[in-house]
Chain A
Amino acid sequence: MRGFLVVIGIAGLLATGTAAARSDDYVLTIKDHRFSPEEIKVPANERVAITVINEDATPEEFDSSALKVEKVVAGKSKGIVRIGPLKPGRYPFIGEYNEATAKGTVIAE
């Protein structure tokens, strides 16, 4: 079991390299306290890096307990959110500072 988990860990480590290289593939833009796109598809069972671009002047916190991420993105700036490996499914996220409008979903498939 232990050895198996370590192997998975190493595989994960290798996967990071690939995910980092492809982080430009996944981009979320925040504008007027809304995410665009509001649904973003990523491959399941892989580590993925999503670049979050905040075009608003105010900071936003990308927050998702489902994705296990809390990340503040300053105004007029960008941040990288690293997630996964995810089982296939839908994972909601919000912009914590503007919860009423800033909502979205990561779809792993």
Chain B
Amino acid sequence: MLGALIIVFREVIEAGLIVGIVMAATRGVLGRGRWVTIGVGGGVLGAGVVAMFAGAISDAFQGAGQELFNASVLGIAVVMLMWHNAWMARHGREIADEMRRVGVAVSEGAKPLTALAVVVGLAVLREGSEVVLFLYGIMASGTSAASLLAGGILGVAAGAAFTALTYFGLLAIPSRHIFSVTSWLIALLAAGMAAQAVQFLNNAGLVVALDHTVWDTSWLLSDGSILGRMMHTLVGYTERPTEMQLTVYIATLFVMFLLMRIARPSPRRRLPVAAE
């Protein structure tokens, strides 16, 4: 049962970290609860569908379907996160100012909540489909299934609690700093996703340039450990990055900050993304 709990928890925290950060990044925006719920709900449904068609997806594109699917999902999420950060660079200041003046909720209709709902949905879909497959395997295998299944469900619950912890932890940040912090978190999140996407393209046999491993820090922090997984989601940590992964990671950060700079309003007042 403990084993099942840990496996499920490991998958759920990856999506949970993303949901927690998105919730914090949309603090004070009216209607965000509904969008995040739509994202999570859509992701869970999608996870079921993906798990059901796992075989078909895998067989597509000469056996590289699964890798291409994962790379696309990550790629879309990266674009959405870039859009969000560019939008925040333009409007974050106003929202933070207003939050300080009137308290908490702000009616900000134009916010691209759809972008973040998509990010949440894709994160839940990707990790969720693995949870569904794992739990399906347990149920299909009979014998000690009940206790394993209980472990799985507890794993989901623990993951949800972890999400809440991430969110409330981020909320402790004073409102005038929160958007610069979440912008950084989202930039690192996106860079890590891009680096992971390009590795999937490598596994698919598509992007095979610069495929040598640059370093190996598995002795220090293993990808398989809980902390390794969390760092993987948060900052894109991987124990053996390839040259291509590093290149893509840095390029994504560069493009992200370039977009934020372009989107930033020009007036003299202090800028929201300037290092504080």
Contact = CB atoms under 8 A, between A and B. Distances in A.
Interface of A: 5-6, 8-10, 12-13, 15-16, 20, 47, 49, 57-61, 63, 65-66, 68-69, 71-75, 77, 79-85, 87, 96-100
Interface stretch (B19-27, B77-85, B135-143, B162-170): B135-143
B203 A81 contact: yes
B209 A6 contact: yes
B18 to A, nearest CB: 17
Contact of B54 (A68, A74, A96, A99): A74
Looking at chain B, what size class is its interface with the partner chain? 35 or more
Interface in B218-264: 218, 222-224, 228, 238-240, 242-243
24 contacts: A8-B209, A8-B210, A9-B211, A10-B209, A13-B208, A13-B209, A20-B205, A49-B205, A57-B140, A58-B136, A59-B136, A63-B224, A65-B222, A71-B203, A74-B58, A75-B55, A75-B137, A79-B63, A81-B203, A82-B204, A82-B205, A85-B211, A85-B212, A97-B134
Contacts of A68: 199, 202-203, 238, 240, 242
Closest 6 CB pairs of A and B: A9-B209, A65-B223, A74-B55, A58-B137, A80-B63, A12-B208
A66 B222 CA distance: 9
Contact of B208 (A9, A99, A100): A9
B209 A12 contact: yes
Nearest to A58: B137
A16 B243 contact: no
B271 interface: no
A49 B199 CA distance: 15
B204 A59 contact: no
Nearest to A79: B58
Given A68-B240, A77-B55, A12 B3 contact: no
The winner among B3, B66, B204, B238 for most chain A CB atoms within 10 A is B66
A9 B62 CA distance: 22
B99 interface: no
A65 B224 contact: yes
